[in-house]
Structure 1
Amino acid sequence: MLELSPDLSGEWRFDPTHTRIGFSTRHAMVTKVRGAFNDIEGIAYVDVEEPSNSKVSVKIKVASIDTRNAQRDEHLRTNDFFDAPNFPYITFESTRIDQVGDTSFIVNGNLTIRGVTQEVGMPLEFMGVERDPSGQLRAGFEGTRRIDRQQFGVKWNTALDSGGLLVSDKITLEFEVSAIKVEKS
Structure 2
Amino acid sequence: MHAARHYLTMICAVALLCGCTAFKVVTHYVSANEASVPVGLYELDPHHWNVSFDVDHFHYSRFVMRFDKVSARLNWNGGGIAASRVEATIDASSVDTNVPLLDRMLKGPDMFDAARYPNIAFQSTTFERTGDDTGTLTGDLTIRGVTRPVKLTVTFNGHAVNPLTKQETLGFSADGHFSRAAFGLRTWFPAVGDNVHVAIQAEFGKQKE
Asked if Structure 1 and Structure 2 have the same fold, meaning a TM-score greater than 0.5 normalized by the shorter chain, the answer is yes
Query: Partners in 1 of 2:201 and 2:123 — Cα distance?
Result: 17
Give the equivalent residue in structure 1 for 2:205: 180
Post-superposition offset of 1:173: 0.4
1:53-132 matches, within 5 Å, as 53-132=83-162
Aligned partner letter, 2:51: I
Aligned equivalent of 2:51, options 10, 13, 21: 21
Instruction: Kindly provide the CA deviation profile for residues 55-84 of structure 1, in whole angstroms up to 9, marking residues without a partner as x.
Output: 111111000001111111111001111111
Aligned equivalent of 1:155, options 186, 192, 209: 186
Q: In structure 1, list runs of 5 or more residues that go unmatched.
A: 159-164
Give the equivalent residue in structure 1 for 2:27: none
Aligned partner letter, 1:135: K
If you compute each CA radius of gyration, which structure gives the higher value, 1 or 2? 2
Query: Partners in 2 of 1:121 and 1:181 — Cα distance?
Result: 25
Query: Partners in 2 of 1:84 and 1:144 — Cα distance?
Result: 24
Query: Partners in 1 of 2:38 and 2:131 — Cα distance?
Result: 17
**TM-score for both structures, normalised by structure 1:** 0.89
Post-superposition offset of 1:50: 5.5
Query: Over aligned residue pairs, what C-alpha RMSD do you find?
Result: 1.6
Post-superposition offset of 1:26: 1.2
Query: Partners in 1 of 2:97 and 2:194 — Cα distance?
Result: 17
Aligned equivalent of 2:194, options 169, 173, 178: 169
Identical positions, percent? 26
The count of residues paired between Structure 1 and Structure 2 equals 178
Give the equivalent residue in structure 2 for 1:134: 165
Query: Partners in 1 of 2:130 and 2:104 — Cα distance?
Result: 39
Aligned partner letter, 1:16: P
Instruction: Kindly provide the CA deviation profile for residues 121-144 of structure 1, in whole angstroms up to 9, marking residues without a partner as x.
Output: 222100112322121121110011
**TM-score for both structures, normalised by structure 2:** 0.80
Query: Partners in 2 of 1:108 and 1:83 — Cα distance?
Result: 25
Higher helix share: 2
Post-superposition offset of 1:86: 0.8
Post-superposition offset of 1:24: 1.0
Aligned partner letter, 1:174: A
Give the equivalent residue in structure 1 for 2:13: none
